[in-house]
Structures are given as structure tokens and as C-alpha cells.
Amino acid sequence: MSLLSFLDREHTVARPGFSRWMVPPAALCVHLCIGQAYAFSVFNLPMTRLLGLTQSAPGDWKLTDLGWIFSIAIFVLGFSAAIFGRWVEEGGPRKAMFTAACCWAGGFFVSAFGVSIHQLWLVYLGYGLLGGIGLGIGYISPVSTLIKWFPDRPGMATGMAIMGFGGGAFIASPLSVWLMSVFRTSHHIGVAPTFAVLGAVYFVFMIVGSIIVRVPAPGWKPEGYVEPEQTKKLITRNDVFVYDAIKTPQFWLIWWVLCLNVTAGIGVLGQASAMSQEMFPGRVTPVAAAGFVGLMSLFNMGGRFGWASISDYIGRRNTYFVFMLLGIALYCTVPYMGRIGSVSGFVICFLIIISMYGGGFSTVPAYLKDMFGTRYVGAIHGWLITAWSMAGIFGPVLINYIREYNVTHGVPKAHAYNVTMYIMAGLLVIGFICNFFVKAVDARYHMKADDPRGSNPQTANATAPAAARA
């Protein structure tokens, strides 16, 4: 069997007896690696001192120029997930994970070369473009596979993988700092070899994931699982073709729900340290603020698993109603906490908000599965990720510019964020309305059994055995 055929979907069909609990670690192998993106900022300061070593020298890269590396990667993530979504769905998870590993690791290698010859455009091309494509393909690659393996708990299953994306930064951050200290010499700061080692480690990790991953045989069901006879109004048994799905109002309503939820969360995530210190001057030190940011990252990760698991019981639409209503209440409470000087109240509010930010990401694949079926859920999810790219621009801009406007108009720094909090609550009100209007997809969009668009891998292997151990 050649390498290329080993990657094919038909060679990833699980044999009888394969445990579905092998699939979440396979997904985590990919998501823990690509989650490094959240920790890229640890390289920012060292990369401004590549020539000067101890401090920036003339010709060293500027922080503002380096900021584009992460922005390009996140932008490309959204659009590559949309563009390659159908290919990922039809090619199968192993091929997608392998491609993501090549792009992600390749991005690090190109960046390492770019740093070693001090050419920033190579870092943009490597980490930003190539790495961004790896991010997009890697992010969506295990989604539909997990949903097919866990029809009884799709939220929990995708929550586990997407939790890995949040957790990847926890590993990458200390690992990168340690590697830079190991490779640092009197002649260079150690960024280039760190990139090279990270690329190699991530490649191995992601390849292991692609080897482990399997798709269930057609007709497979978990042991003891009985599909509910009466379907719920908002859970379809039909599939919608990816390019039909993006024509439906439901897709765009969910797009806005995600975009607004992420906008509200991402703005405070990036500014949490400065915000806590400015709202409680003298009481929250820079060291304590750093601890607060760490705690927020933990709740971001925990929320991804927790909220997505809860959504299996209360329903996806209701989960987003909770995000919106609770979010509105909490954003309106933050200025009050600032007024009465309650640091603990402020911290609790933001920890819950950030858990719902993470939960918004992890619950959405199951929401899409409920609305559009499992067949093209990965590809549809890919298109939805563009909401994240947009929110990545809206959120920080809203927080930064409104704060700046307030401060320049004489508002004390301690109160400069109040208006922003009310605006965030307003965004969630719009999100609530969008979620309210999500109804079942019209039957005219459902795929027919003899639909000629793309071969259906679920039926292509109809003779394969269905019994497998859950």
C-alpha cells in the first residue's frame, strides 16, 4: 500500500472492535499542536532583538510589524477552512491531518529560515500563510469524524477536540521559552532553532494523530445507542450540501451568533491584563494581572469542554441563549464591580464570560450538525470559521478605540471601559435575536439519496462491517 493510498478515506474505515475512544486523542494530537497559535506572542519580544540581542538595534523588526504574523495566520485560518472544507470532508480525516501537519510544520521551517537570514516576509509566508493553511485544515479535520463516532454526545466529542486548541498554548508557551533559553548563545537569541524544533515536534505529533484516526463503518452505531424515533424540531436527520447550506438563513444567523459571541469575548481576552490594572489601580499589580490572564485561559479551555457537553442535554439553541443572556447580565455587572471596587466580583464575571467565549467555539459544530446533518458538517464548519476571522478584527478594535476615545475625552481610566462593557452587552442582545430566529432548515435544501454532487463515503462502503465496540 503506497503512502498516498494509506491516506485515503477508505483505508481509515474502522474494523470491528475499534474503540471510538481512540478518536478524541487523535483529534487532540492535531488541536494541541495548532493551538500553539495562541502562544505566538512569546516570540514577539525576542524577535525584536534578533540583531541587538539584549535590546533592539537599528534594523531590528518592530513589534507592530511582528503583530501581522499572527493576524495573517488567523485570517488565513478562516479562509482556508472555508476553501478546503469540502476537500477535507470528502478526502477524509487522515489525508486532512497529514496535509495540516505538512503545512503547519512547513510553516515553522520556512519561518526558521526567515529568522536566520532576517527576512520578515519569509516569516509572513511561512507562519502566516503556510501555517495559517495548516491551522484552517487542522482545525476542521476531526470535527465531522468525531460527530459520526459520537452521535449520542456530539457536543462533548467536538468539545474535547476544540478544548485542545485552547490547551495548545499552555504547552507551547513554556516549551518555547525553555527552547529559546537552551538555544540562546552569545551570537543569536535562539528563535530560529526553536522554530525548527517546534516544527519537527508538531509534525511527529500530528502524524501520530493521522495514523490513529479512523472513520466509522457505514451504519455503525455505538453499542446500546438507539436513534430517537421522534426527531426534535431543530435536529435534522437529513444532510444539506455545503454550498446549499451557505445559502440558508440559518447558516448566516448562526454565523452572526458566533461572530458576536466571539467579538464580545476576544476583545476582553486581549485586554484583560491592562483592563484589570486600570479598573483597580494599585490593587491589581502587573504580576497579579498576569495570573488573571492565566486563569482566564484555563476557563477558556474548560468552557470549551464543559459548555459543549452541557449542550448535549439542554440543546444547542438553548446553550447559546444562556451565553447571550448570562453574558448580557455579566457585562452590565462589570462596571458596577468596578464602582464598588470588588476585584473578586470582577474576576468571577470575566471568568464566566471567557468560559462562554470558549463554549461558543466548541458548541457550534454540533449546532451545525443539528441543522445541516453530518455529511458536510466539517465543510460547513469551515465556512463558519470566517466569523472568527471577522470577530478577531472587530473585538480588539472596539475595546481599544472606545477606551482611547474615552480617555482622550477626560474619562478616568478606571471608568474608561464602562461604555465598552455596555456595547458588548448590546452585541449579545443582537446575538440573542439572531439565535431566536434560528428555525429548522427548509426541506428543499435537503440532499436526495441520488444526489450527484460528490460521492458519499458513508454509502460507498456499505458492505463494510458495522459492529464496533463503543
Residue numbers at the binding site for another protein (CB under 8 A): 10-11, 13, 15-19, 21-22, 25-26, 28-29, 32, 164, 167, 169-174, 208, 212, 287-292, 294-295, 297-298, 301, 347, 464-465, 469
User: What are the C-alpha distances in Å from 418 to residues 58, 323, 354, 392?
Assistant: 40, 20, 18, 21
In whole angstroms, the minimum distance from the beta carbon of 211 to another protein comes to 10
Q: Which is nearer to another protein, 19 or 231 (CB)?
A: 19
Q: Which is nearer to another protein, 307 or 445 (CB)?
A: 307
Cα 224 from Cα 206, distance rounded (Å): 32
Q: Which is nearer to another protein, 298 or 419 (CB)?
A: 298
In whole angstroms, the minimum distance from the beta carbon of 277 to another protein comes to 12
Cα 226 from Cα 218, distance rounded (Å): 16
Q: Which is nearer to another protein, 31 or 375 (CB)?
A: 31
Q: Which is nearer to another protein, 288 or 423 (CB)?
A: 288
In whole angstroms, the minimum distance from the beta carbon of 13 to another protein comes to 6
In whole angstroms, the minimum distance from the beta carbon of 331 to another protein comes to 21
User: What are the C-alpha distances in Å from 207 to residues 31, 87, 138, 210, 297?
Assistant: 12, 19, 12, 5, 27
Q: Which is nearer to another protein, 62 or 469 (CB)?
A: 469
Q: Which is nearer to another protein, 128 or 457 (CB)?
A: 457
In whole angstroms, the minimum distance from the beta carbon of 117 to another protein comes to 31
Residue with cell 454550498: 243
Q: Which is nearer to another protein, 16 or 412 (CB)?
A: 16
Cα 71 from Cα 79, distance rounded (Å): 13
Cα 293 from Cα 289, distance rounded (Å): 6
In whole angstroms, the minimum distance from the beta carbon of 287 to another protein comes to 5
Residue 16 falls in which region: left (phi positive, over 0), alpha (psi -120 to 50) or beta: beta
Cα 31 from Cα 93, distance rounded (Å): 13
Q: Which is nearer to another protein, 114 or 168 (CB)?
A: 168
In whole angstroms, the minimum distance from the beta carbon of 438 to another protein comes to 33
In whole angstroms, the minimum distance from the beta carbon of 417 to another protein comes to 19
In whole angstroms, the minimum distance from the beta carbon of 465 to another protein comes to 5
Q: Which is nearer to another protein, 52 or 294 (CB)?
A: 294
In whole angstroms, the minimum distance from the beta carbon of 469 to another protein comes to 6
User: What are the C-alpha distances in Å from 286 to residues 177, 276, 350?
Assistant: 20, 9, 17
Cα 453 from Cα 396, distance rounded (Å): 40
In whole angstroms, the minimum distance from the beta carbon of 350 to another protein comes to 12
Residues in the chain: 470
Q: Are 318 and 344 in contact (CB under 8 A)?
A: no
Q: Which is nearer to another protein, 126 or 164 (CB)?
A: 164
Q: Are 246 and 387 in contact (CB under 8 A)?
A: no
